[in-house]
Amino acid sequence: MVGLVIVSHSEKIAEGVRDLAKQIAGEAVRIEAAGGVADHKIGTDALRIEHAIRLADTGDGAVVLLDLGSAVLSTETALEFLDDARRGRVLIADAPLVEGTMTAAICASTGASLKEVVSAAKEACNANKL
């Protein structure tokens, strides 16, 4: 099953989004939070993100959802730490953090593919336009 990684500059936001997504998707989906930096301050940490990716990817891949700015750079750095096989199973979803995570979690819980989960997360942008 595809796992999810929530990357936020805030540890509390990442954990809160993860907890909400777990309530929606259930325990079958691996959802990991990678927020903040070691001293519990605001920021992103490539090593935390790499660790979260390793936990979330149980073989079917992982989708990374980000809040803003340097989270992209930190995630790209984290991907460099992974071997080619694992890196090939990780996709970054260009989606709103909360809505994208919720729709990705629901989609992942159905056993959807990596690309289907990313597509669902991106579609969360269109839900607000109805």
Cα 112 to Cα 30: distance, rounded to the nearest angstrom: 14
Cα 121 to Cα 123: distance, rounded to the nearest angstrom: 5
CA 17, 112, 127, 93 torsion: positive or negative?
A: positive
Q: Is 40 a catalytic residue?
A: no
- Which positions ≥6 away from 114 have C-beta within 8 Å? 2, 60, 61, 63, 89, 91
Selected catalytic residue, list 5, 9, 29, 62 = 9
Q: Are 121 and 100 in contact (CB under 8 A)?
A: yes
Q: Which residues are catalytic?
A: 9
